[in-house]
Amino acid sequence: MSFSFLSQLHCPKCHETYNPDVIQQLCTCGSPLLVDYDLASLKTQLKPADLVGRPSNLWRYHELLPVKSPEHVVSLGEGMTPLLPMSRLGKDMGIEHLWMKDEGIIPTGSFKARGAAVGVSKAKELGVEELAMPTNGNAGAAWSLYAARAGIRASIVMPVGAPLITRNECAVSGANLNLVNGLISDAGKIVGHAVKAFDLFDASTLKEPYRIEGKKTMGLEIAEQLDWKLPDVILYPTGGGVGLIGIYKALRELAELGWIEDKLPRLVAVQAAGCAPIVKAWEEGKTDSEFWADSTTVAFGINVPKALGDFLVLEAIYKTDGCAIAIEDDELLEEQKKIASMEGAFVCPEGAATFSAARKLRASGWIKDGETVVALNTGSGIKYPETVKVEVPILDPQDTLQRG
């Protein structure tokens, strides 16, 4: 049986198709490309039970991933992150069946590892020797490190305001790191010029087709970890939105394979109030978003004023009867503390926002009594230490413990 059932690439806007055996970036119409598989054939050859005993990382789904030869897999052991019951927090917000998919427990400490693992592996298979990308921090860190493992040279451009730790991750990998006085959109322009000038592979979000395939494994894992019974609601912190697009794609592929039979979960795009272009578009019933000027939020990973895949995110929301919701910074920081003190998980601000959103949607009745809810935490709180205020007594060795 083939390692991958990859068949072709297609454009979701103009429906042009492309050969996946050579390097492709955007469609000539400017849209991102999506990856197709021969699902009809796979359906007859693979069953869920065949996955039992496979390695507990995202490559257990290799038939549904684009890398054709196992020798090109570049892995740091990413995937099969824990799906944790959040009983105490769930009770606190009136959601009986609340789960967290914890993407902090993954190489590089964020879900960006999934896109990087699959994107870099496929780039290696296609012969890429040098890539470039703009980043808000975590994606650059992940792509730098996976590129290093693959022996691919990486040029990364990151806002000076991005989390410091991600800067160190890029630096230690030996990547060619540049900072910019500006936003990720400014970094994107610099990368765009460099890609043309130096003929580099453009690894910007959705400008290559394979990062989505890595991200979609979150959806595959949620389904498998819940024994192929889908939750009612999945909440996802949405910047570029690739994870949401990927989860939606995964669930549709599983339905086509006949591995799931339930109605798809209602997908919720969670944004920061200081940068909520998808929420605004959804509230206005539009299929595209507008650039969000002067965006700002502590949840740096979702500070994306205009996402290239906005139309795909909105489609996923509309098609699943989902919604989009914005959270204030002070709300999500308050939720971050509750999650740690009630459940022992130190989540990133973006992840905390999904729990704030669940709380609000339960209070409004949008999440109904008895529903099963999965919130995505996209990274470890360790990467954002400045979000926690610490005021503690400092003792001398002869002092006595302050009992608090």
DSSP bridge partners of 236? 269
List 46, 337, 360, 366, residue binding a second copy (CB under 8 A): 337
Report which residue type is found at 9.
Answer: L
Pairing outcome for strands 34-37 and 83-85 = unpaired
How near is the Cβ of 70 to a second copy at its closest, in Å? 13
Candidates 23, 26, 190, 226; binder of a second copy (CB under 8 A) is 190
SS3 for 235? Answer: strand
157 or 314: CB nearest a second copy: 157
Q: Which is nearest to 129 in space by CA: 99, 105, 107, 151?
A: 151
Bridge partners, 329 (sequence order): none
Other C-beta atoms closer than 10 Å to the C-beta of 398 total 5
Find the binder of a second copy among 176, 296, 328, 329 (CB under 8 A): 176
Asked whether position 199 contacts a second copy by CB under 8 A, the answer is no
Residue 388 interacts with a second copy (CB under 8 A): yes or no: yes
> Which residues from 62-121 bind a second copy, rule CB under 8 A?
74-77, 80-84, 88, 102, 104-109
Please give the DSSP secondary-structure letter assigned to residue 385: G
Cα→Cα distances 219→116, 122, 209, Å: 17, 20, 17
Q: Closest approach of Cβ 273 to a second copy, in Å? A: 22
Query: Which is closer to a second copy, CB of 22 or CB of 390?
Result: 390
336 part of the interface to a second copy, by CB under 8 A: yes
Query: Which residue, 267, 188, 194, is CA-closest to 235?
Result: 267
Does 191 sit near a second copy (CB under 8 A)? Answer: yes
| Interface with a second copy, residue 341, by CB under 8 A | yes
Binding status of residue 378 toward a second copy by CB under 8 A: no
| Dihedral pair phi/psi, residue 180, rounded to 5° | -135, 135
Is the Cβ of residue 132 or residue 139 nearer to a second copy in the bound state? Answer: 132
Q: How far is the CB of 129 from a second copy (least distance, A)?
A: 14
How many binding residues for a second copy (CB under 8 A)? 85
50 contacts a second copy (rule: CB under 8 A)? no
Q: Which of residues 114-133 bind a second copy (CB under 8 A)?
A: 132
CB of 20 to a second copy, least distance (A): 25
When asked if residue 356 is in the footprint of a second copy (CB under 8 A), the reply is no
Bridge partners of residue 102, in order along the sequence: 377
Q: Where are the alpha helices (DSSP H) in 199-320?
A: 211-225, 242-257, 277-283, 310-319
Phi and psi at residue 98, in whole multiples of 5°?
-105, 130
- Told to check if 244 binds a second copy by CB under 8 A, we report no
Q: Which of 23, 46, 179, 273 binds a second copy (CB under 8 A)?
A: 179
Comparing CB distances to a second copy, the nearer of 147 and 278 is 147
Contact predicate 161/301, CB 8 Å: no
168 touching a second copy, by CB under 8 A = yes
Using the rule CB under 8 A, is 211 a contact of a second copy? Answer: no
Contact 137, 112 (CB under 8 A): no
CA–CA separation, 141 and 147 (whole Å): 10
